[in-house]
Amino acid sequence: MESVGFIGMGIMGSGMARNLLAAGHEVVVWNRTRSKAEAIESATVADSPADLARRCGVVMVCVSDTPDVVEVVEGDDGVLAGAGEGHLIVDHSTISPSVTVELAERCAERGVRWVDAPVSGGSEGAERGTLSVMVGGEAADVERARRYMDAYSTTVTDVGPVGSGQIVKLVNQVLVVVNQLASSEALLLAQAAGVDLEATLKAVEGGAAGSWMLSNRGPQMIHRDWRPGFTIDLQQKDLRLVLDAADELGVALPGTALVFQLYRTLQRRGLGAEGNHALVKALEELNDLRLGG
């Protein structure tokens, strides 16, 4: 099995790279801040994305935003400077679907294949190897990548051609934030009524009202634990992508737009590095009410 490269040792990529190593793969890593790459024990640290591509036929990318992906792929010392015919780029970042298609087309001119494979499941999923991956690309490329993605995911779903993975990830993010809004409002209602919050959560999460966000972020909200599985700043980046895509398609998403504005108020307060479940803080301000504690 060929060596695999991984670019981006952030809150998601570091856990994914460690799971690749645990599965027995030879892994080469690169990160803009080298110390984060060096912290991945047993991995080889590349000097640049181009150096990494020269060492590996499959290159995973998990960075923050669309310009970051463009830079690590097409920059002066980017992946394409070291890749050629037969290389496969697997982009786990959440970026613009239209830019994804453009990048894939430019890579194809060099004989480099592209799979867009954004993930869901938070930092917990990256660490535990339980991520859900939504994949866009040619079937053969998806199968080639699947051998590695299985190391850090429990669900890998081929959703169509290149760009489809990014669209489905935006669908995922709409569901995430609207579920988070519902969880915040529901627990604040329970708080205002004076009922036991933990008992309330236990009573409703197993029924029709249950959701991943409620079960995983509800306890954090109750105990006022704002450590991020996914930060507000990153969530906002994704919501900008959602709203841009909705604008291109002429689709009205009022609930998503509302959450975007609520998160904006938290960013203005300097809370962008907190977990996305801190959305409840914006509603606390509206109600002059404090959840849990």
User: pLDDT tens digits for 37-71?
Assistant: 999 999 999 999 999 999 999 999 999 999 999 99
Q: What is the pTM assigned to this prediction? A: 0.92
Q: How far apart are CA 248 and CA 180, in angstroms?
A: 25
Predicted confidence (pLDDT) per residue in 180-211, tens digit: 999 999 999 999 999 999 999 999 999 999 99
* Residue range(s) of every CATH 1.10.1040.10 domain in the chain: 167-287
Residues of the chain with pLDDT under 50: none
Phi, psi (rounded to 5 degrees) for 93 = -70, 160
From the number of C-beta atoms within 10 Å of its C-beta (0-12, 13-18, 19+), residue 54 rates as middle
Q: What is the pLDDT of residue 262?
A: 98
* Residue range(s) of every CATH 3.40.50.720 domain in the chain: 4-160
The residues, ordered by sequence, that sit 6+ positions from 255 with a Cβ below 8 Å of its Cβ are: 174, 178, 181
Q: What is the pLDDT of residue 166?
A: 97
Q: What is the pLDDT of residue 286?
A: 96
From the number of C-beta atoms within 10 Å of its C-beta (0-12, 13-18, 19+), residue 41 rates as exposed
The yes/no answer on whether domain 167-287 falls in CATH 1.10.1040.10 is: yes
Assigned architecture for domain 4-160: 3-Layer(aba) Sandwich (3.40)
Active site residues: 169
Q: Which long-range contacts (CB under 8 A, 24 or more apart) does 30-36 make?
A: 30/5, 30/6, 31/7, 36/9, 36/10
